[in-house]
Amino acid sequence: MRNESPTPSHDQDEDDFLCSVREGLRQQPKTIPPKYFYDAHGSHLFDLICTTPEYYPTRTETAILERHGEEMARMIDTSCTLIELGSGSATKTPLILQHLAKDAVYVPIDICEPHLLNSTQRLQAMFPALKMQPLCADYHQLPRHALKRQAGKRQVVFFPGSTIGNCTPDEAVTLLKRVATLVGPSGGLLIGVDAKKSIETLNAAYNDAAGHTAAFNINLLNRMQSELGAHLDADQFAHHAYYNDEHGRIEMHLVSQCEQAIKLNGESFEFAEGETIHTENSYKYSAQEFKQLARTAGWHLQSTWHDDNELFNVHYLSQTAAEPLKLAR
């Protein structure tokens, strides 16, 4: 299947990765953006994380979409152009696509091209009548006119998985503003957001007993070795994830187990024992907190669906004044 929009070159991807790693390792504290988790192997590891008993978000959000997908599709417009950010394996997407009209258009966007094309091929076989336009891109840097507008069709972004939590609140506002520009004044946003809950539940979700999250984190170092030629010992770093109550977020780190250095492109980045690379945040929001965040970015909350235990919320937002808020279980 051929992309209808330009695909970033391998060289450009590698340059972006190198620049981001060098910039991040020069900082104190050291950090690397979480988008670089998702090469083919990292995407596979994330799929495994989603199957673990500790990782509740995937199965909880899936249950919400199964229960309310038809209602969601009616609200967003069954003939819309549905744009999925960070589509990955797109395992939840059929729960919305199955309720769309045959003239709807689906635009999956993902940074990992093999994953993107494989999932699009699978979905096209499931929904042969739907037009699909996969786009390999970093949605954080998506130009305003990257997507072909379909005449007379409403544009709606689908952003499941609580990926918005990987952004700081300020970054989240910036991204939500970018989404608003992308879909236009009549557009909508259907977004999954992880809720605040017990620290024990949160910590367990990011430290699964099978070790998939640890491998997912360490894979970032393996990518640096194989793709950037970094000289490092991945075995001398350990996965560490915990809930930071003050900031309302899970933090994920790679912890240096000894004094060591990562050598990359002529630079040496020194580590003390116990020093970390901060690789991911996952912010958690109450429904009211997210409503306020979205409003700052110009969005109006129209409806919220959640599970019986209120572990997870799916919100529908528009850029027009809100109707009376609807909460659905």
State the maximum Cα–Cα separation within the chain, in Å, rounded to a whole number. Answer: 60
* pLDDT, tens digit (0-9, with 9 covering 90-100), for 9-40: 444 566 889 999 999 999 999 999 998 998 98
Q: How would residue 145 be classed by pLDDT, with cut points 50, 70 and 90? A: low
Residue 329 burial class via C-beta count within 10 angstroms: exposed 0-12, middle 13-18, buried 19 and up: exposed
Report the distance separating Cα 98 and Cα 227, nearest Å: 39
- Mean pLDDT over the full length of the chain: 91
Same domain, 175 and 231: no
Whether residue 244 is contained in a domain is answered as yes
Same structural domain, 100 and 214: no
State the total domains in the chain: 2
Terminal C-alpha separation, the chain: 38
Residue in this structure with the two tokens 């690789």, named with its chain if needed: 279
In whole angstroms, give the CA distance from residue 61 to residue 307.
8
Q: Write out the residue range of the structural domain in which residue 185 sits.
A: 56-140+147-197+285-328
Residue pair 196/285 in contact (Cβ under 8 Å)? The answer is yes
Query: Is 131 part of any domain?
Result: yes
In a domain, 126, yes or no: yes
Instruction: Reply yes or no on whether the pLDDT at 2 is more than 50.
Output: no
pLDDT score of 3: 28
Tokens of 50: 């989603």
**Cα separations in angstroms, 128 against 72, 96, 101, 120, 217:** 22, 15, 12, 11, 37
In-domain check, residue 130: yes
Pair 244, 169 in one domain? no
The DSSP letter of residue 121 is H
Same domain membership, residue 162 and residue 272: no
- pLDDT band for position 143 (cuts 50, 70, 90): low
* 201, 250, 298, 90 alpha-carbon torsion, rounded to 10°: -70
My answer on whether 109 and 172 are in the same domain is yes
Q: What CATH number is attached to the domain comprising 304?
A: 3.40.50.150
- Note the pLDDT tens digit of each residue in 64-85: 999 999 999 999 999 999 999 9
Residues 322 and 213 in one domain: no
Q: Tell me, what's the pLDDT at 14?
A: 65
Do 241 and 97 have their domain in common? no
Please tell me whether residues 166 and 179 are part of one structural domain: yes
The sign of the dihedral angle between the CA atoms of 110, 116, 121, 125 is: negative
Structure tokens at 260: 């060591």
DSSP letters for 241-301: EEEETTTTEEEEEEEESSSEEEEETTEEEEE-TT-EEEEEEEE---HHHHHHHHHHTT-EE
Query: Strand pairing partners for 267?
Result: 264
Percent of the chain scoring above 90 in pLDDT = 82
State yes or no: pLDDT of 201 exceeds 80: yes
Q: Which pTM does this prediction carry?
A: 0.87
Residues 6+ apart with CB under 8 A from 60: 307, 311, 312
Based on the domain organization, do 221 and 108 belong to the same domain?
no
Higher pLDDT, 162 or 325: 162
The confidence score (pLDDT) of residue 141 equals 81
For residue 7, the 8-state DSSP code is P
Please say if the pLDDT value at position 241 is more than 60.
Answer: yes
Task: Report yes or no on 51 lying in a domain.
Answer: no
Asked if residue 125 belongs to a domain, the reply is yes
Q: Look at residues 229, 268, 266, 271 and name the one whose alpha carbon lies nearest to residue 254.
A: 271
Q: In this structure, are 99 and 178 located in the same domain?
A: yes
- Which of 53-62, 147-156, 224-233 is the least confident region? 147-156
Q: pLDDT tens digits, residue range 260-312?
A: 999 999 999 999 999 999 999 999 999 999 999 999 999 999 999 999 999 99
Mean per-residue pLDDT for 87-99? 94
Shared domain for 173 and 270, answered yes or no, is no
Radius of gyration of the chain (CA): 20
User: Is the domain of 79 the same as that of 188?
Assistant: yes
120 domain-assigned: yes
Per the domain annotation, does 289 fall within a domain?
yes
> What pLDDT score was predicted for residue 9?
40
